[in-house]
């Protein structure tokens, strides 16, 4: 049985479709990254799956139950910036959440505080927490009742690099116990280290659903980015354009250009044959960010 299912999920506000006809299924124990530019529909989709808003069409299901429904008691959520009672301590906020949910043993509060490394700040009032500390507390709250599914919206927002790495390891540890995780993030380098599968949404429509490797090798035209320098930058740019590429100028004598991997090995030789005097050439294989930007028409914004 799939842990999370979206079937033709649609959410309209008046005539505007925030999410339109989105369908996917996520198996138990998967960690799936949910990508998309601001306003693409990520948070709206997560809110529908969490039962926070009702879809205009289609349905969401978690753990075999239609949303909203009893299956949500086995779901942990952290959607948008988490909110707490600022005059209460971190520990008391978790106690309150545990009481509302029911069935959470007292020891579990201490376990999750230690898990997100907030045990030393548990008696501080939340009004004194930094944004990163509130994010950690939000993750702790989502884990209180040992959920089988986690829906996380930008869980590392506001964290420093060390904190981001710690949350990444926390999520890996949680997933290793069989918990299904759907996580959105704009920090693509972190998503690349965490997930094996990507969902990408643009302008409310799902534009990619598949393994991370498939996105990186989309259409078998994996790119290699070259940083080139020549004695004459104008000649270099003209030669690259003549070869069918779309270079970007880098100072007076340099250029950046993405070329299919099949062309990469022979690029410098072709430029030399075209009369370009190359003084330096560096190359890198495309990463998730490059593939993602190509998927979104190259600028990372809805087209």
CATH fold of 2-216: Rossmann fold (3.40.50)
Alpha helices in 116-210 (DSSP H): 131-143, 161-176, 188-194
**Residue of 65, 48, 1, 49 whose CA lies nearest to 27:** 1
Cβ-based neighbour number of residue 67 at 10 Å:
23
**Residue of 168, 98, 88, 100 whose CA lies nearest to 129:** 88
Contact 250/227 with Cβ under 8 angstroms? yes
Q: Per-residue confidence of the chain (303 residues) as pLDDT tens digits?
A: 899 999 999 999 999 999 999 999 999 999 999 988 888 899 999 999 999 999 999 999 999 999 999 999 999 999 988 899 999 999 999 999 999 999 999 999 999 999 999 999 999 999 999 988 999 999 999 999 999 999 999 888 878 888 888 888 889 889 999 999 999 987 777 787 889 899 999 899 999 999 877 776 654 445 678 889 999 999 999 999 999 898 999 888 999 898 877 777 889 999 999 999 999 888 765 556 666 666 665 444 433
Q: Could you tell me the residue ranges of all domains in the chain?
A: 2-216, 223-285
Q: Quote the CA–CA distance of 186 and 194 in Å, as a whole number.
A: 13
Q: Quote the CA–CA distance of 299 and 109 in Å, as a whole number.
A: 43
Q: Supply 127's token pair.
A: 């009004």
Q: Quote the CA–CA distance of 68 and 50 in Å, as a whole number.
A: 8
Q: Any idea what the Cα angle at residue 53 is, between residues 47 and 56, rounded to 5°? A: 110
**Residue of 31, 12, 34 whose CA lies nearest to 21:** 12
**Domain 223-285 CATH (choose: 3.40.50.300, 3.40.50.280, 2.120.10.30, 3.30.70.270):** 3.30.70.270
Residues 6+ apart with CB under 8 A from 120: none
* Predicted TM-score (pTM) of this structure: 0.74
SS3 percent helix, strand, coil of the chain, rounded to 5, is 40, 30, 30
């Amino acid at each position: 049985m799939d842990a999370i299912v979206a079937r033709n999920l649609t959410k309209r506000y008046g005539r505007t479709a925030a999410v339109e006809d989105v369908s996917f299924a996520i198996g138990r124990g998967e960690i799936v990254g949910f990508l998309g530019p601001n306003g693409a529909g990520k948070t709206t989709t997560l809110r529908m799956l969490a039962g926070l808003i009702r879809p205009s069409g289609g349905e969401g299901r978690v753990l075999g139950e239609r949303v909203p429904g009893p299956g949500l008691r086995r779901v942990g959520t952290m959607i948008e910036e988490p909110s707490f009672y600022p005059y209460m301590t971190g520990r008391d906020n978790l106690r309150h959440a545990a009481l509302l949910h029911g069935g959470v043993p007292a020891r579990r509060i201490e376990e999750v505080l230690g898990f997100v490394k907030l045990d030393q700040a548990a008696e501080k009032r939340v009004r004194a927490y930094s944004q990163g500390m509130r994010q950690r507390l939000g993750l702790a709250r989502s884990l209180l009742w040992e959920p089988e599914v986690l829906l996380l919206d930008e869980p590392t927002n506001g964290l420093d690099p060390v904190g981001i790495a710690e949350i990444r390891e926390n999520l890996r540890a949680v997933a290793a116990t069989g918990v299904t995780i759907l996580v959105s993030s704009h920090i693509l380098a972190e998503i690349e280290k965490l997930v094996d599968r990507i969902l990408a949404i643009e302008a409310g429509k799902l534009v990619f659903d598949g393994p991370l490797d498939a996105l990186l090798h989309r259409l078998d035209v994996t790119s290699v980015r070259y940083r080139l320098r020549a004695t004459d930058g104008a000649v270099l740019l003209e030669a690259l354009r003549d070869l069918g590429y779309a270079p970007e100028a880098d100072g007076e004598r340099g250029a950046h250009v993405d070329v299919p991997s099949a062309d990469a090995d022979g690029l410098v030789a072709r430029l030399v044959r075209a009369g370009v005097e190359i003084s330096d050439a560096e190359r890198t294989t495309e990463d998730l960010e490059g593939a993602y930007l190509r998927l979104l028409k190259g600028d990372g914004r809805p087209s």
